[in-house]
Amino acid sequence: MTSCVFVSLTVPAPARQRGNPSESKGFLGSRAPTRCATIRDMESPAPLPRPSIAASPIGGPSSSLVAASAAVVAFAVVTLAVGAANGAPTRFLVLDAVIGLVYLGGGVIAWQRRPEVLTGPLLVACAALNFLGSYAPTGLPIVTHLGFAFQGYYDVALAVLVLSLPARLPTGLGRWLSLAMLAAFVVRSASRLLLQDPAQIAPDAGLPPNPFAIAASPDAFFTVESVTSAVIAILALAVALVCLARLIGNRPIVRHVMWPILVAGIVAMSAAAFDATETAYGTATGEPLLTLPEAWEEPFSWLLFLARLLVPVGLVVGSLRLRRAGGPLVALAVGLGTVPSPIRLESALAAALGDPRLRLVRPDPSGGGWTAADGRPVPAPVDDDTHAVTLLEHDGAPLAAIVHDPVLREDPALVGSVMAVLRLAVENERLDAALQAQLEETKASRARLAIAAEEERRRVERDLHDGAQQRLVAVAIALRQARETASTTDAAPELRDELAATADELQGAIDDLRELARGIHPAILEDDGLPAAVAALARRAGVAVSVDSDLARRFPRHVESTLYFTVAEALTNAARHARATQAVVTIHDAGDRVEVAVEDDGRGGADPAAGSGLRGLTDRLAAVDGQLDVVSSPGTGTTIRATVPLP
């Protein structure tokens, strides 16, 4: 095997020849640092760099984010200053700084949006590893070897990132691939630290000795370097294939949102696989894997690093696509002006988040379980690889939960907005339920009052009939007897006349009392029902009245009483105010309700809002959950319709 050492030279030579890093140009930017240089190549005076790609946030709401961002920025400034001091071309410094800032921005965005996952910290770590690897070609003691040993670790971080999304950590095959790649990098780093010493391999190159090389062995180093690089290449290619499989076979929402990230992962891991393959091949053969024209050397080197840069860019693009998928959220919020059904709400949430598999579940009001939107009992929602659960709580108690695709957690702001809308919907539903309960209680209370009033009228009618009326009748009988006795004796004619007048007056009072009792609660209504009572009203009305009834059954007392007094008031209005000559009363049994209509041929123009009689009817009917409709155009008569639901 040709002896070689993995270093890079920082000389402003024209162009780098493959396999000849002594003629490489640049610092913090070229692809040469992992190039295999033969012993004769080491006659060149200085090492060549290897740029890295990484990102770290610059600021954020958490102290961890701020501290990590500040540390990476400070490290970047120092690294760029060292590069400038060692004669690195300005374009390399600028490009490397831009790459670092892009990763930095991606890390800030990811960390702020989802601080509970590792996406942001991984990108920050990529930034630090990027600038750490840039120290490999500086030729400075210690840091040169540390930079060389830990070059390329951003590929591990990027692999973990693309394999874990949208979860917190990789699972299944992704976990094993991540661990295997990390292990391969660790073994390669140990080899570069412990087995490789440029001062022993190429003493004339002027490179600083490796203080960590406690068991320097070129052959062992080259073997480990080749094998580990080949393994890294295979694993990186496997990660790319996993991303491709997820892109092709995943759920629609994952493909819609994640395809920029997955495509970026495929490209980045392919670039990492090429780099590792080139390292393994160059180490084993001493020849470059791919020979390019001199003018393409540097652009191709940067292209491989820009390929990794697609990952944070893909994250941002995927986030924007996810946010755009929530466009119907505004329509959902506007639609909450009315209380939606649970199924309609579930459909609206699914449309707002772009997740057709979304399910809305709620705690069972009876306790001990959960129910779906259609009311079916369902198991308690739990997080797993294919489902994420977002709870809506109030004072620590769950109100509802949405079970959705884990990819939606990539935009917690969108999910939070949807949950805020869901909270409004649940609150509206709760308030509506409370209002309906109050309305039902009000209706029940008014019905109880109507029944109580009806019972009180019946009691008063009985008291008048059985008490005062009977006593007055007894007095009238006594007066008649006294008058008959006076007529058979020598009583003065004046006394007889006075007794007769008193008896007649008392009989008139009895008749008035009977009429009053009939008005309070007519006995015929109690005994014979509504049609007979209405027929009696028609006979006493001041206009000609015909009655048409199809009732074949009795109804609750308060219902019959309410309709009776409605007809009585309508006939009174027809005779007194409408100047009608005839009227028609229709009584219809509609099964679940009773309908009564009173039509007259009067002058019309009745206004329910103006007269106390019609207002009183409206209130009386409302007490039994009934309804009053009045049609009364001037000159066309009046029609009063009353409808009372049956309990």
Domains in the chain and their CATH numbers? 4-325 (no CATH), 329-439 (3.30.450.40), 529-645 (3.30.565.10)
Query: For 330-386, where are the E strands, in sequence order?
Result: 359-363, 370-372, 377-378
How many Cα atoms occupy the beta-carbon half-sphere of 556 within 13 Å? 17
What digits encode the pLDDT tens for the residues 253-293?
Answer: 666 667 888 888 899 999 999 999 998 998 888 888 888 88
Q: Is 626 left (phi over 0), alpha (psi -120 to 50) or beta?
A: beta
pLDDT at site 302: 80
Q: Shortest CA distance to 264 belongs to which of 321, 325, 315? A: 315
At 12, the pLDDT band (50, 70, 90 cuts) reads: very low
3-state secondary structure of 29: coil
Work out the widest C-alpha separation in the chain, in whole angstroms.
170
pLDDT at site 44: 33
pLDDT at site 340: 66
What digits encode the pLDDT tens for the residues 367-413?
Answer: 778 888 888 888 888 887 778 888 888 777 888 888 888 877 766 76
Of the two residues 136 and 313, the one the predictor is more confident about is: 313
For residue 67, the tally of other CB atoms under 10 A from its CB is: 11
Joined together, the tokens standing for residue 578 give 């409408």
Cα–Cα distance measured from residue 318 to residue 524, given in angstroms and rounded to the nearest whole number: 81
β-bridge mates for residue 350, sequence order: none
Phi, psi of 506 (to 5 degrees): -65, -35
β-bridge mates for residue 640, sequence order: 598, 630
What digits encode the pLDDT tens for the residues 115-155?
Answer: 877 888 888 888 888 888 777 777 778 888 888 888 889 99
pLDDT at site 22: 28
